[in-house]
Structure 1
């Protein structure tokens, strides 16, 4: 078991003028006309983000990590758009990628546990001792890192990835999305046959759950597609390990397929590694609405020619995808990359925040109408 270490009373301050210390080549990123991207924080191995409002209006951004094993809080002290204060919350954790907030409480997921930091948003300089919410999770580290979000129903949703590339596990919880009642510890299945989802969100109006899923490896460069899925009810099966993407039978387990499997709403291409996903909930971006979805594509690791390493924009209508196109590209230079998008989140002002675990950065995307 890893030692959980709190860091009371320790505050690290990063001034906005120092945020570009790594000299990231942001001018290489391509965005639609009128959009601009800036680095607004430096966070080692930044993964999932969660935001809580404050009375002052600037808000607090919590950021999990994977390899770094830590969780930090960021605050924009003077409202200039840069998260110039960084508070270490905990370190020495086991793949604490998943973070979620309810009220002023922060929830953090390790591989086999979920913790609550009560009233943390008001106690950043002296973090409280964490409270164990559950330790009833599998301890397999392969695809074991979590994504956390509270759903419209008040339950805490999380993923449990397959403990392998392709396998049939005895523990039914592997390759699924579950939800947890944080008050009494009850767990329920939301979706099964989901190989490795590291991003999900709810439509702001119809409350349907949309989630990404990373397809299996070692079926070649172009099979199977990674997926964008939608569900409106618990208990549906999305195919893994029997069927992938839109009806691609698995060479090992396809013969065991039975029953009905849900097809994805969109095939994203093989090996693009879609992670964080969010419906846009601001007013700043033109022609964007509650039907606009942004997806962070982390990028391929074993394809002969790399793909992904970008943020894409998806337009939906009545539960269907009507368009899918790149929104930000340029983290990939030929066959070498300098950044890998992980999570996406609408900030209080309608800008879009993007985490990057490879570059160790948080970006902000803003829109400004060109003047003539």
Structure 2
């Protein structure tokens, strides 16, 4: 028997409970319809892996392993492209049975995983892909609500782990929610970073300035066109971005905005459109794409669920000049036709060679976007 299945050590969670298998998973589905995707001239989309059910957030290890979280599957995957041909030949399940383990963040050899109220770690993970170590509890006291309880997580340039605490509702005003916090890698020295954020499922730090930018999902049930999702920029610790009082920088909430002024809150750097479900975002720091993409924010729009005519279902480019967004345009389209989607982009990740990975939780796949003249 694999000793990892019955070993207990202090501070570790029993792998027998959390690990379903170490071998590659197999599930019956149609192949991703990448021939339907539309990209600018010179760009090409291929399938990096089609064996990642409910693929959500992405992270990469120092040895090139791509880690993928999930929401409904309860599993975390490790993808390996050992021959460096741009397609992962192996998909391993390295953790299972977790509560919405969406977020994955690689730091100093360890993989950190968010699971609603918990942050867990797999130590020295790339040395143990075929026999994953026990999950170590790092944080156990985050809110347990599952409404906006799944979490994208990432380490900042300050070495701290940034964790969003989404609002546990569509619209409400509850202390301790709708914010981003940061902490040391061991979970200590926790502090609030930003407030008034309904639900961010993607953020990154701008090259050069090292300022934090993040997406935020606008509230529902104000009609097809209000309010817009947002791309925001943090200029100081403690900044407030409006929720639940003011939406999209200029629209007071009909319930919680009474007696408030939008001038008291930071407006978005860019309105992204109502109900597009803007999720993952990263700054393009690679060199493969044309220079017009260098320093741009790449944003995955997961797509609307409650709009008369669906919106989103695409990957976008936000061109940025300093602190200003100067253009917002499609990079990958075609995940939907005739109001029916076959794919929904979730997260993006810039690879060391400059290619861009895109996760798709509907198709259970990860795509690779490249450029060649």
TM-score exceeds 0.5: yes
In structure 1, how many angstroms separate the alpha carbons of the residues matched to 2:289 and 2:28?
A: 25
Structure 1: 4+ residue segments shifted above 4 A:
none
2:259 is the counterpart of 1:250: no
Paired residue for 1:131? 136
2:322 is the counterpart of 1:310: no
* 1:94–1:256 CA distance, 2 compared to 1 (3 A): farther
Instruction: Quote the offset at 1:345 in angstroms.
Output: 0.6
2:54 is the counterpart of 1:45: yes
RMSD, matched Cα: 1.9
Instruction: Quote the offset at 1:281 in angstroms.
Output: 1.3
Which ranges of structure 1 fall in alignment gaps of 5 or more residues?
none
* 1:222–1:3 CA distance, 2 compared to 1 (3 A): farther
2:227 is the counterpart of 1:240: no
Instruction: Give the TM-score normalised by the residue count of structure 1.
Output: 0.93
Contact 2:270/2:325 (8 A) holds in 1: yes
Paired residue for 1:24? 32
Instruction: Quote the offset at 1:185 in angstroms.
Output: 1.8
In structure 2, how many angstroms separate the alpha carbons of the residues matched to 1:9 and 1:312?
A: 36
In structure 2, how many angstroms separate the alpha carbons of the residues matched to 1:311 and 1:3?
A: 39
Secondary structure, aligned partner of 1:295: strand
Instruction: Give the TM-score normalised by the residue count of structure 2.
Output: 0.92
In structure 2, how many angstroms separate the alpha carbons of the residues matched to 1:21 and 1:140?
A: 31
Secondary structure, aligned partner of 2:369: strand
Paired residue for 1:61? 66
In structure 2, how many angstroms separate the alpha carbons of the residues matched to 1:20 and 1:70?
A: 17
In structure 1, how many angstroms separate the alpha carbons of the residues matched to 2:187 and 2:14?
A: 25
Secondary structure, aligned partner of 2:221: coil
Contact 2:58/2:104 (8 A) holds in 1: yes
Q: What is the number of residues matched between the two proteins?
A: 358
In structure 2, how many angstroms separate the alpha carbons of the residues matched to 1:113 and 1:21?
A: 31
Paired residue for 1:340? 344
* 1:306–1:321 CA distance, 2 compared to 1 (3 A): same
Instruction: Quote the offset at 1:23 in angstroms.
Output: 2.7
Equivalent of 1:364, from 335, 356, 368?
A: 368
**Deviation larger for 274-283 or 254-263:** 254-263
2:15 is the counterpart of 1:10: no
Contact 1:13/1:85 (8 A) holds in 2: no
In structure 2, how many angstroms separate the alpha carbons of the residues matched to 1:3 and 1:45?
A: 24
* 1:63–1:20 CA distance, 2 compared to 1 (3 A): same
Q: Could you report, residue by residue, the CA deviation over 1:221-253 in whole angstroms, capped at 9, with x for unpaired residues?
A: 000010000012210000000000021000001
Paired residue for 2:209? 206
Paired residue for 1:326? 330
Q: Could you report, residue by residue, the CA deviation over 1:320-363 in whole angstroms, capped at 9, with x for unpaired residues?
A: 10111111111010211100000001012100000000010100
Which ranges of structure 2 fall in alignment gaps of 5 or more residues?
1-12
Equivalent of 1:225, from 213, 224, 228?
A: 228
Q: Could you report, residue by residue, the CA deviation over 1:81-136 in whole angstroms, capped at 9, with x for unpaired residues?
A: 11111121111100100000002100001110000111011111111111111112
In structure 2, how many angstroms separate the alpha carbons of the residues matched to 1:229 and 1:329?
A: 23
Secondary structure, aligned partner of 1:12: coil
